[in-house]
Amino acid sequence: MKPWVEHFVHACVAEIPDLVYGRRLSRELADHLESLASDLEGQGLSSDEARQRALEHMGDPGALSTVYLEQWRQRMNTPRHRIPRILFLISFLCYAAAMLGFGVLYIINTHNFGKPHPGYWGILSVLLALVLVTAPVIAGLPRSWNLIKYSCWIYAAMQVLPILCWMALGGPFEVSGIMVSGAAGTLSHSVLAVWSVMNGYQLGCYQKAFSNRFSILGHC
């Protein structure tokens, strides 16, 4: 993609948080813009003149960005996208349950690790899980987007310490009567880290699409 095309396209899709949709729209815009400039050059214009005419024909990228964002929002609220949202909601509830479960396990098994730090980590995990579940109920979803999203990012960052500890200590350690190896502990927290990042990203998309306008399951 030529630099001038890339600059224009980026300005048009910058507000769309959906990476897949944004990439597809970027390719379509770039192909159309380059084709238009090529046609103008074929009519006898210089490359600079053709580029300027093509950009003028496309219009203001700021205005186009608003239009494309609105189109994406409408697309996200169509019935065919409701099932993925329901599946995400179920997955997110499982994620919160996993946070709560891991937190409780670390709290009640702190003595098995010989250090108090796993217990502290468990307390933070339980508190974050409670925030994810109760914040939308107490404050309402429109007011809770950022709190929930940033809680996911925080929980992703929280996985660094247990991952490093499991890798360094190796284990195995007894967790509620089960001997857990270092590899299993590392893998579990790595999955939680990836899950947290994915949830944070997806919540950012839904916030952009539905905040103050739609509910995650459809029209308010």
Q: Tell me which amino acid residue 188 is.
A: S
The torsion of the CA quartet 43, 46, 50, 52, rounded to 10 degrees, works out to: -150
Least confident of 61-70, 110-119, 133-142: 133-142
In the structure encoding, which two tokens stand for residue 99, read together?
A: 């946070």
Which residue has better confidence, 130 or 74?
130
Cβ atoms within 10 Å, residue 161: 13
Q: How much is the average pLDDT of 134-150?
A: 78
CA 102 – CA 122 distance, rounded (Å): 7
- State the helix-helix crossing angle for 3-13 and 47-58, rounded to 10 degrees: 10
pLDDT in tens, 14-72: 888 888 888 899 999 999 999 999 999 898 889 899 999 999 999 999 999 999 988 88
**pTM, 2 dp:** 0.67
Is the confidence at residue 220, as pLDDT, over 60? Answer: no
Q: How much is the average pLDDT of 99-125?
A: 87
Cβ atoms within 10 Å, residue 153: 16
Strand 178-180 versus strand 214-215 pairing type: unpaired
